[in-house]
Amino acid sequence: MRHFTTITGKDIEQARLFLEQGHTVAIPTETVYGLAANALDEEAVVKIFEVKNRPQFDPLIVHLAEPGQITDYVQYLPRVARRLMDAFMPGPLTLLLPKKAILPAIVTAGLDTVGIRVPAHPLTRALLQSLNFPLAAPSANPFGYISPTRAQHVYDQLQGQIPYILDGDIATIGIESTIIGFEDDTPVVYRLGGLAIETIEAITGPLRLQLNSSSDPRAPGMLKSHYAPRKKLYFDPLQPITAFPVGVIAFNRYSNDYPENCQHLLAENGHLQEAAIHLFDVMRRLDNSDVKAIVALPFPEEGLGRAINDRLRRAAAE
């Protein structure tokens, strides 16, 4: 693979030029950083899979500047999809919808649906508005590892492999988008994420969840083991810990079971949104520290706490 001197900066024009030349560029979104390329250029999209070391059966999300562009890439919008778009786009929501032929098969891994998202981050929105093509982008991490929430996280892992990182500061949501598909026009949640289920249900009524943990081709990235640090992560309180010292991830209070100085509180203010912002950053810091294992204590199973628990469960899976 070609070697680049990776530059980090806030220059939208520079990012645009690299993307127009068919390169990949890391872009900030409010959820996590993405590794973007021209979604209409098959050769550019292939580079995303190479850089991430991602299997080509795992489809990519297509990012648009405006909700109004969705019908350029999607054949059909259920009525409830329109209501979700009106309520939550731009924002941390991805909709799976039947794709139009203009999108190359590699983007969707041959599936007939495409994941579409309109990110809210101002830099990336301005970038998308300056381009005459949409951006295919998975999270900007090596396949299976923790998603990046800072430009530095991307640099640490992809330095030399990509020409440019558009620096949009720390992600303000910190956890990937919520993914919703449709079965007979009824919405189904395939991935818990940065938009809380309760918030969506206020629009749709009670939602069905299908959070696959295997290799269902409809959501291949929902692999049981994913979002994982290199070190062992314990999330099951019954599993005996065999490696010490440990670093502990906790919500807003210290646990009596561990010394305080090895515990990392994600949100002393008790807000789950605040905890989501810091989750991946703290996981990475512990992974790069001299602890031998990571222990995560359970979060309240409500709001973004459900998505946080989901990520921790997958990070702990063998």
Residues that bind Mg ion (CB under 5 A): 139
Judge whether 40 and 102 are in contact, CB under 8 Å: yes
Task: Report if residue 24 touches ligand TXA, rule: CB under 6 A.
Answer: no
SS3 89: coil
Query: Would you count residue 59 as binding ligand TXA (CB under 6 A)?
Result: yes
Straight-line distance from the first to the last Cα atom of the chain, in angstroms, rounded to the nearest whole number: 30
**CB-wise, 78 or 298, nearer to ligand TXA?**
78
- Residue 19's binding partner, choosing from Mg ion, ligand TXA, none, with beta-carbon cut-off 5 to 8 A by kind? none
Preceding peptide of 90 cis, ω within 30°: yes
**Crossing angle (nearest 10°) for helices 12-20 and 122-130:** 50
Q: How many helices (H) and strands (E) would you count in the chain?
A: 9, 15
Nearer to Mg ion, 155 or 251 (CB): 155
Is 73 or 234 the residue whose CB approaches ligand TXA more closely? 73
CB 109 within 8 A of CB 23: no
DSSP β-bridge partners for residue 264: 249
Q: Which stretch binds ligand TXA (CB under 6 A): 43-51, 69-77, 82-90, 136-144?
A: 136-144
Closer of 52 and 231 to ligand TXA (Cβ) = 52
222 binds ligand TXA (CB under 6 A): yes
Torsions phi, psi for 179 (to 5 deg): -110, 125
Q: How many residues does the chain have?
A: 318
State the helix-helix crossing angle for 151-158 and 272-287, rounded to 10 degrees.
Answer: 30
C-alpha span between 309 and 297 (Å, rounded): 9
Q: Does 19 bind ligand TXA (CB under 6 A)?
A: no
* Per-residue DSSP letter, 118: -
Give min distance, CB of 57 to ligand TXA, in A. Answer: 9
Residue 169 has which token pair? 């500061």
Tell me if the bond preceding 78 is cis, omega within 30° of 0: no
Among 115, 148, 187, 303, binds ligand TXA (CB under 6 A): 115
Q: Which residues contact 46 (CB under 8 A, 6 or more apart)?
A: 106
Beta bridge partners, 188, equal: 181, 208
Least Å from the CB of residue 298 to ligand TXA: 23
Residue nearest ligand TXA, CB atom distance: 221
C-alpha 245: how far from its chain's center? 30
Which option in Mg ion, ligand TXA, none does residue 177 bind, with CB closer than 5 to 8 A by kind?
A: ligand TXA
Per CB under 6 A, contacts with ligand TXA among 153-192 are: 176-177, 179
Residue 139 within binding range of ligand TXA, rule CB under 6 A: yes
Binding segment for ligand TXA (CB under 6 A), chosen from 9-17, 30-38, 249-257, 306-314, is 30-38
Minimum distance of ligand TXA from residue 167's CB (angstroms): 15
How far apart CA 96 and CA 185 sit, in angstroms, is: 11
- Residue 117 binds which of ligand TXA, Mg ion, none (CB < 5-8 A, kind-dependent): ligand TXA
- The one among 15, 25, 103, 111 contacting ligand TXA by CB under 6 A: 111
Q: How many binding residues for ligand TXA (CB under 6 A)?
A: 27
Q: Which of 19, 28, 29, 95 lies at the binding interface for ligand TXA (CB under 6 A)? A: 29
Nearer to ligand TXA, 8 or 113 (CB): 113
What backbone torsions phi and psi does residue 96 show, to the nearest 5 degrees? -95, 120
Does position 148 interact with ligand TXA (CB under 6 A)? The reply is: no
User: Which positions touch ligand TXA (CB under 6 A)?
Assistant: 29, 31-32, 34, 58-61, 94, 96, 108, 111, 113-115, 117, 137-139, 176-177, 179, 218-222
